[in-house]
Chain A
Amino acid sequence: MDNKENILSEYIDDLNREKKPENDCYGADPELARLCETVKAVKTLKEPALPEEGYAHRLAQKVALEMAQSSREELNEKGAVRLNKRNRTARRKPVRPGWLLPAATALAACVLIFAMFVSRPGIFHTDVALAMQQAVGQLSSYHGVLEMRSHNEAGQEWLVRQVELWSEGDKYAIKQSDGTLTVNNGRQKWQLRPQKQEVALLPLLPDPARQGFDLRDEAARALSYPHQVVGSEVIAGRQASKMRISPPGGLEYYLWVDKETDLPIQLQTAMQNALQTTYTFVSFEANTQIDPGIFDYQLPPGFKVADSDPGQIVSTVEEAAEISGFIPLLPEESPSRILAFASRIVLDYGDTTIVEKVAQGVFEPAANSALGTAAGGPLEVWGESLRWRQDGIEIQVSGAQRAALAAQIAPGLALPEASRDLAGQARVKVAVDMDIVKADQQQADRGSSPWQLDPLQVSLTFVNLKVSPEGIVGEPQIGAASFKTAINNGVQAVVEVSAGPVSKVYLKRLVRQDETGIWSVVGYDPR
């Protein structure tokens, strides 16, 4: 563009695209500058272009993050470390973040990676912290390959998965090793399944990828994590600083930061449940040019659409009710987005999602869930999710704010008390051989005997073996209908039995106290 007509025309095109003009005329010819101002003046007659849905929440998160960074910068300035003017400008540039990784586990890892970007200095190695701040401040897009490996206490290691990632602003695409490609472009989400020759249109919400990983939320959360540089290692062929992070009340884990790019390249979780997982960017290109076509929805020739109800974003609850055919129950806090489907409504709170639908059939909590109470009935507590029924609606709240939001819908909601000793109440104690229990747990981990994850099934087996010590042949004498979970706090459970020689069975998760832990009978009450 070398003449004024063209410069002015391009200026108009930029404003029409709602972009900051590349050439804003100000440094140039005064007349051109005046004409650019006149273009803006004319455009004021048009309605302003509003930000995309959820802007206010994203704004709040970015502001919180900036405030945190600002405090840290001030602390550093009080010490001898000062950012130069150029670096300040780079950091100040509003972050359009988004490191979005595929599976929930991988995402969890990256949550930690990004959390690290904003850690409090003083405890952390100052130079590395500052460099990371600047690196993340300048990260607007990336393309990389992430490898996830696990190893157990016995020292065995295996590759869990490898995924290719593209991220730009709020958009992301994730390609699994089988070719499955999941894309979220902020307006649509879909999954391309080459093996089935189909494209599944997915609801924008809930989006476990986004929920599992959000720089702004996690950054704010991680502010108080102490960390320390503990060494230097070569990771994926690159020199990296190794840092130990100690979350308050949590287990220590490690992060490696590339010495050249100042971006994290590897994270290793703590050993939990005899498993430790390492996430490594075996390749990573920051601020790279990403083919915009990857975020465009197109049905490839020969592919069919597998799901035709991806829902639609609506502005009001009334609109959602009209589409979904019922009025949802709402917490006091307003959602940032509402998504309506033919038979359900999804409320988005950034890191937490509420899904509501009309209750149908009998409410059956998942067999291996803990139980609390909500709205006078049972509350299923499973992982990071709460589910219950209220006024004919089934409500599921998943994410970080689940307890607070659920309590706003169902006042008096009570979560299970994991510290309560239930097993101690058993009239007859059952001795447990921990070697056998550990072996059973390993068996369940390999996918065998999944019934051990269900306290009802474990109780059924225990009671029927009391009746038929020689073994259960065919249908058990005391059927499943006689067993009912009275209490399940996630660690201990009591199952009531309406028939046979036992009235109550007391169980415990002895090896692992989460959804993957098997149940063992530790006592019972004879009838």
Chain B
Amino acid sequence: MITAEHLRKAAQGESRSIEHICLELWEPLYGFIYYRVQNREEAEDITQDTFVRTLTYCQRHNTQPDNIQAFMKMVALNIIRDGWRQKQRQGKLISFEEAKPLETVAADEQKTIAERMQIENALTQLKPDQKAVLDLRILKGYSVAETAKMLGKSAAAVRVTQYRALQALAQMLDEHD
């Protein structure tokens, strides 16, 4: 349970309150970020950055958001999108002041559920060898060499199949959008 008092003290840098907030909130936030970056290293770093930016925001504006979890997810989205923007990708930043955290994050949550269903569906429509390569390489985490051995292909053939499979999958997902 996070109270306004916890937030106020944490924003002032009080270590016990910071610890309490981190212990309470890290897991859903980490899961939310991981879903978007798909690697632990980046998810850990962005989780840390999200806590710092949220508390800094609370400190500078002397405020405690009503729904801190939703607010932090919005901050995390901004950090991720900021990264994309720096790399010339799209990603609109959400202003803290203008944002409606609940709506922003809820919309994103609904989108992820729908996306997952689309991906599962699209995978079933790939050619068997393409599906097998993506399954071994991405879902099971095997190396190119291991995948090649298991499928009786050369490493180069695995890379080509993998590329084409992802092209086909991206095409299907784009069409759906």
Closest to A13 in B: B143
- Tell me whether A220 is interfacial, beta carbon within 8 Å: yes
Closest to A19 in B: B41
Q: A30 vs B172: C-alpha distance in the bound complex, in angstroms?
A: 17
- Tell me whether A44 is interfacial, beta carbon within 8 Å: yes
Do residues B52 and A67 form an inter-chain contact, with CB atoms below 8 A?
Answer: yes
- Tell me whether A78 is interfacial, beta carbon within 8 Å: no
Do residues B48 and A59 form an inter-chain contact, with CB atoms below 8 A?
Answer: yes
Among candidates B30, B51, B120, B138, residue contacting A43 with C-beta atoms closer than 8 Å: B138
- Tell me whether A342 is interfacial, beta carbon within 8 Å: no
Query: Interface residue tally of chain B, by bracket?
Result: 35 or more
Contact residues of B between 133 and 168, Cβ < 8 Å to A: 134, 137-139, 141, 143-144, 156, 159-160, 162-163, 166-167
Residues in A neighbouring B23, C-beta threshold 8 A:
56-57, 60, 334
Closest to B27 in A: A56
Among candidates B35, B43, B55, residue contacting A67 with C-beta atoms closer than 8 Å: B55
Closest to A41 in B: B119
Do residues A42 and B134 form an inter-chain contact, with CB atoms below 8 A?
Answer: yes
- Tell me whether B39 is interfacial, beta carbon within 8 Å: yes
Q: A94 vs B159: C-alpha distance in the bound complex, in angstroms?
A: 34
Contact residues of A between 14 and 29, Cβ < 8 Å to B: 14-21, 24, 26-27
Do residues B138 and A42 form an inter-chain contact, with CB atoms below 8 A?
Answer: yes
Asked whether A48 and B26 contact (CB < 8 A) given A8-B162, A42-B119, A63-B55, the answer is: no
Residues in B neighbouring A48, C-beta threshold 8 A:
30-31, 34-35, 43
Query: In the complex, what's the smallest C-beta–C-beta distance from B118 to chain A, in angstroms?
Result: 9
Do residues B139 and A63 form an inter-chain contact, with CB atoms below 8 A?
Answer: no
Do residues B52 and A66 form an inter-chain contact, with CB atoms below 8 A?
Answer: yes
Q: A31 vs B171: C-alpha distance in the bound complex, in angstroms?
A: 11
| Most chain B C-beta atoms within 10 Å of own C-beta, residue among A13, A35, A57 | A35
- Tell me whether B78 is interfacial, beta carbon within 8 Å: no
Asked whether A38 and B169 contact (CB < 8 A) given A67-B18, A70-B56, A94-B45, the answer is: yes
Interface readout for B22-62 with A: 1 if CB under 8 Å, 0 if not? 11001100110011111111111101110110011001000
Do residues A15 and B39 form an inter-chain contact, with CB atoms below 8 A?
Answer: yes
Contact sample, A vs B, 22 pairs, CB 8 Å cutoff: A5-B162, A5-B163, A9-B144, A16-B141, A20-B42, A27-B87, A35-B167, A40-B38, A42-B166, A44-B115, A45-B120, A45-B123, A46-B138, A51-B40, A55-B44, A57-B22, A57-B23, A60-B18, A60-B23, A63-B48, A63-B52, A71-B13
Residues of B within 8 A of A (CB): 10, 13, 15, 18-19, 21-23, 26-27, 30-31, 34-45, 47-49, 51-52, 55-56, 59, 84, 87-89, 112, 115-116, 119-120, 123, 134, 137-139, 141, 143-144, 156, 159-160, 162-163, 166-167, 169-170, 173-174
Residues of A within 8 A of B (CB): 4-6, 8-9, 12-21, 24, 26-27, 31, 33-35, 37-46, 48-51, 55-57, 59-64, 66-68, 70-71, 92-94, 220, 334
